[in-house]
Copies of this chain bind each other. A is one copy, B any other.
Amino acid sequence: MAQAVTVNPRVLEMEYAVRGPIPQRAAEMEREGRRTIPCNIGNPQALGQRPITFYRQVLGLLEDPAGAGRGGVPAEVAETARFMLEASRTGTGAYTESAGFRFVREAVARFIDRRDGVEGGSGVPSDPDLILLTDGASGGVNYLLDALITGPDDGVLVPIPQYPLYSATIARCGGTLVPFYPDEDAGWNLRREHLVEPLEDARSRGITVKAVVAINPGNPTGAILDDESIREIIAVAREWELCIVADEVYQENTYGRPWSSFAKILGREDVPLFSLHSVSKGFYGECGHRGGYMEIRNPPAVEGTGLSLADILLKQASVNLCPNTVGQFLVYLMVSGPPAGTPSFALFETERRAVLGDLEAKADMIKGYFGQMEGLRCFGETGAMYLFPRLERLPEGTGDFEYCMALLEETGLVTVNGAGFGQAPGTHHLRIAFLPPFDLIREVMPRWVEFHNRHVG
């Protein structure tokens, strides 16, 4: 190489364990012809989950509208595609408004209102002008943290363990991650002091904490926050003037358990809220399409300007022109679904129930095997697509990284060790996505049990 360059140390610092050494070793094993089972990412269709028929039939016609004339798709599919093409005016091939198609943002607002019982209730309606469609949920997080963080004295309060998008983005922006530790033994819920102590500590070190992140259902924990925990976060955000980043991309993955959105609990309180959702998870698992949105409530004024923080995010979005159109259209389908009473609706409901039912059954099956492993315990209501068991016994001088590497070598299971997400000091965990087909779970879990008891014994 002719030259050497210096690189931004903030960029060098970024770590992204989900795609770190363990999956690299897995890729090597694949090249050696050994089978691996990628449970390190919530990527359902890579593990055989089939897409929702209605969504894909509509997307097919959006790309190739002449397909409707060739027949063979249900009338409601053709009708939905026709409506979306007209509403968009430009279809899939043109740049859109930087915030995304307005008709999609309007549909998102109606979805949020329905979800939170605003229609006919006492809640605050969602505003399509405060919705930003994004490429997956990551897009919105990048804009927000880029705007809020001015240097190392700006902090973001992040639950540990956390999804590494947050630590990586905070590092890239040059800010300070201020960790807080929800109570694992209380199902990863939290009380006021879990938040206030790190805030006071950060203040004593001269750090201005500007935002608090909540991931609900949790990633990597899979746990679902109770309403009381959400209320505590809102109360602390009001007192400390924090923006709340509510990562709610797993909101459909609650398996019948109670779940509340931050927007619903927030109600009329004037606290800035930035909620994220995505087409990648839920029962659709359309990760590859990179569709998502950020809904903003109570955007704060930006000092020294006549603008709100929402205006700034929109300006940032405009530099990258617009989010991909297919992802935008898929967000519309996600928040609207097929017309009720049609054959597509019946099929959709069957598919939806099957995917969610399977996911829950897989989680239960894996947890059943956990019961046979010595010193391995799993806390919290089952949500999202992950289990995050605690490894309470490990061989002297080894940690969860060594455990996950050995598990990979012996069983082909690709997991992420807890250190990749951060964890309370002295604890060890791993995250497994409960996505493999049943047969594979039945085959590999007994081998894991055997490995585990030998490894820790």
Say yes or no: B94 contacts A5, CB within 8 Å.
no
Interchain CA distance A150-B174 in the complex, whole Å: 11
Q: Contact flags (1/0) for A60-99 with B, using CB distance below 8 Å?
A: 1101101100111100000000000000001111111010
Q: Contact flags (1/0) for A266-277 with B, using CB distance below 8 Å?
A: 000011100000
* A321-B3 contact given A8-B148, A56-B63, A93-B45, CB 8 Å threshold: no
Q: Contact flags (1/0) for A298-316 with B, using CB distance below 8 Å?
A: 1111111100110010011
Q: Contact flags (1/0) for A16-52 with B, using CB distance below 8 Å?
A: 1011000000000000000000000101111000010
- B contact residues around A270 at 8 Å (CB): 1-2
As for how many copies of this chain the complex holds, the number is 2
Is there a chain B Cβ closer than 8 Å to A290's Cβ? Answer: yes
Contact stretch, chosen from A165-173, A227-235, A391-399 = A165-173
By Cβ-Cβ distance, the 6 closest A-B pairs, closest first, are A60-B64, A70-B72, A288-B325, A45-B93, A2-B270, A59-B63
Segment 324-355 of A: residues with Cβ below 8 Å from B: 324-327
Show 25 A/B contacts (Cβ-Cβ < 8 Å), sorted by A.
A2-B298, A3-B272, A5-B210, A6-B302, A8-B146, A11-B146, A11-B312, A16-B318, A19-B318, A45-B91, A57-B67, A60-B64, A63-B326, A67-B73, A70-B71, A71-B72, A92-B288, A93-B289, A95-B288, A136-B320, A164-B319, A165-B319, A290-B321, A290-B324, A290-B325
Q: How far is the CB of A207 from chain B (nearest CB, A)?
A: 14
Q: How far is the CB of A167 from chain B (nearest CB, A)?
A: 10
Q: Contact flags (1/0) for A196-236 with B, using CB distance below 8 Å?
A: 00000000000000100000000000000000000000000
Is there a chain B Cβ closer than 8 Å to A182's Cβ? Answer: no
Interchain CA distance A193-B292 in the complex, whole Å: 47
Interchain CA distance A256-B303 in the complex, whole Å: 52
Say yes or no: B8 contacts A324, CB within 8 Å.
no
Interface of A with B (CB < 8 Å)?
1-9, 11-12, 14, 16, 18-19, 41, 43-46, 51, 56-57, 59-61, 63-64, 66-67, 70-73, 90-96, 98, 135-136, 138, 142, 146-150, 164-165, 168-169, 172-173, 210, 238, 241, 243, 270-272, 280, 285-290, 298-305, 308-309, 312, 315-316, 318-327
- B contact residues around A312 at 8 Å (CB): 7, 11-12
Q: How far is the CB of A104 from chain B (nearest CB, A)?
A: 13
Residue of B nearest to A326 (CB): B326
